[in-house]
Amino acid sequence: MILAAVLAALSVAGQADVAGHGTSLGTLEPRPAPGQRSVLQRRLDTAPEGATIVVEAGIYTGDLEIDRPVRIVGRNRPLLVGSGAGSVIRVRANDVVIEGFDVDGRNGGDLGRDSSGIHVAGRRATIRDCRIRRSLFGIYLREAHGSHIERCRIDGIPGKDPGEKGSGIHVWNTEGFSIEQNEVVEARDGIYLQSSSRGHVGGNRVKDVRYGLHYMFSDDNVFEDNVFENGAAGTAIMYSHRIVFRRNRFLHNRGFASVGLLFQGCDGVIAEDNLIADNARGIFLEGSYDNVFRRNVVAESDAAIVLFASCGRNRFEGNSFVANLTPLILVGKRTDTVFDGNYWSGNDEPDLDGDGRSDRPYRLSNVFDHLRGNLTAADLIAQSFAADALSMAERTFPVLDPVSPMDRSPLVRPPSLPFVPAARERQSSVDLRGVALSLTALAAGLVALVRGRSSWPQRGHR
């Protein structure tokens, strides 16, 4: 089955991440060797605990170890160029603050040692306003409880296969973290969480990666106002519980195995007020229980929902499903997932009593959708006349009543969902200034045109 093969591929990739990156077994990189140390190392080694070290603009070559609680601040964006042998900045103390630096990893290091632009193995670190490029991992938190990453930009290594580079932001075995207002481009996975709980991930933008958010064995985390786009999957969430997604955007994740939101072995998830648009598959659920999806918009996807029969007690309520090729693909024969009070753009059931809901339930899948979920070759004729004819015949003479889920009380009009983000962000003040300049130029052009016409000879005069 195609969908089962897709899920298996994602699962194998996830297990490979657990075993193959040295995240749980790799030893920490040691202090940089004398020939690889930054010229700033002496300043750090002689600074008292709690000191603020200001680094002026310039280029500083070599790797740096921070082994005491200090605040190191870049003024006018100094550039730290690593040796290429390992992590450029290695934090080995608690209560370290790093802000205002550009960091270049020079495409070097070792994936098995988690070489990063900034590698943190201390508690309560803060990394703020840094820009990292050409590093295997961007920022790595290893047992860095209570740490914060804010307003950083991470550009991975272009041209490398995903398996040859690490995540933009990688968090392992860390409790009580926050990741806020960062940008990640061209990494393996944008944000990767493993065995890390009670965190907040908000206002980040991730694009052009394998998985925007890759996530395993991490409970009680909150994701708000993020954008995950142009990946093989917007998110791949596995073996985790009590996760909250609010006001996120999962956009343009297309390809053979592409998904907006994927859950495997996840329970107690709440997903509300999210925009899930232009994905090969919008929401993908396997082996997951007691999850609630409400007030989301799922639009312009090949399949709005892919649901395995191994799921149970999930609810979809108050969502808007618009312009998807099919609302639901059910893999298996039965499901107890509840659909109630959603809007489906393909629903043509009448509302004779005018209460805003169809008078009859809306059937979410037909015989052909059932075949798509359970036969490999069915996708090949998904847009054919034969598929339409089979679906029409099954509606006339239904044979899958025990299989087909229904929305018990579907809405006939799209609901008002004020907290769902738009596909595109509002124009900024910079754009408004541009409009003002354009209008000024247009006015000047009109003045010139009027003056020019006033100098033309008038009709009837010589």
Q: pLDDT-based confidence at 439, cuts 50/70/90?
A: very low
Largest CA distance in the chain: 95
3-state SS of the chain?
A: CHHHHHHHHHHHHHHHHHHHCCCCCCCCCCCCCHHHECCCHHHHHHCCCCCEEEECCCEEECEEEECCCCEEEECCCCEEECCCCCCCEEECCCCCEEECCEEECCCCCCHHHCCEEEEECCCCCEEECCEEECCCEEEEEECCCCCEEECCEEECCCCCCHHHCCCCEEEECCECCEEECCEEECCCEEEEEECCECCEEECCEEECCCEEEEEECCCCCEEECCEEECCCEEEEEECCECCEEECCEEECCCCCCCEEEEEECCECCEEECCEEECCCEEEEEECCECCEEECCEEECCCEEEEEECCCECCEEECCEEECCCEEEEEECCCCCCEEECCEECCCCCCCCCCCCECCCCEECCCHHHHHHHHCHHHHHHCCCHHHHHHHHHHHHCCCCCCCCCEECCCECCCCCCCCCCCCCCCCCHHHHHHHHHHHHHHHHHHHHHHHHHHCCCCCCCC
Residue 284 has pLDDT above 70, yes or no: yes
Residue type, 384: S
In angstroms and rounded to an integer, the radius of gyration of the C-alpha atoms of the chain is 27
Nearby residues of 270 by Cβ (< 8 Å), 6 or more positions away:
243, 244, 245, 291, 292, 294
φ, ψ at 409 (rounded to 5°): -145, 70
Name every residue whose Cβ is closer than 8 Å to that of residue 122 and which is 6 or more positions away in sequence: 91, 92, 93, 94, 95, 96, 144
In terms of Cα–Cα distance, which of 147, 139, 140 is closest to 176?
Answer: 147
Considering the segment(s) 1-240 as one domain, its CATH architecture is 3 Solenoid (2.160)
Residue 15 to residue 401: CA distance in whole angstroms: 38
User: What's the full length of the chain, in residues?
Assistant: 462
User: Which segment of 41-55, 178-192, 424-438 scores lowest on mean pLDDT?
Assistant: 424-438
pLDDT at residue number 374: 46
Residue 229 binned pLDDT confidence (cut-offs 50, 70, 90): very high
What pTM did the predictor assign?
0.83
C-alpha of 46 from chain center: 42
For residue 447, pLDDT over 70 is answered with no
What is the structure's pLDDT at 454?
47
Q: Which residues is 292 bridged to in the sheet? A: 270, 315
Span 376-403, pLDDT tens digits: 444 444 444 544 554 555 555 555 554 5
The predicted model gives 300-318 an average pLDDT of 96
Structural domain boundaries in the chain: 1-240, 254-448
Looking up tokens 């847009």 gives 383
- The model's confidence at residue 365, banded by pLDDT at 50, 70 and 90, is confident
Band of pLDDT at residue 404, cut at 50, 70 and 90: confident
Residue 67 clears pLDDT 60, i.e. is over it = yes
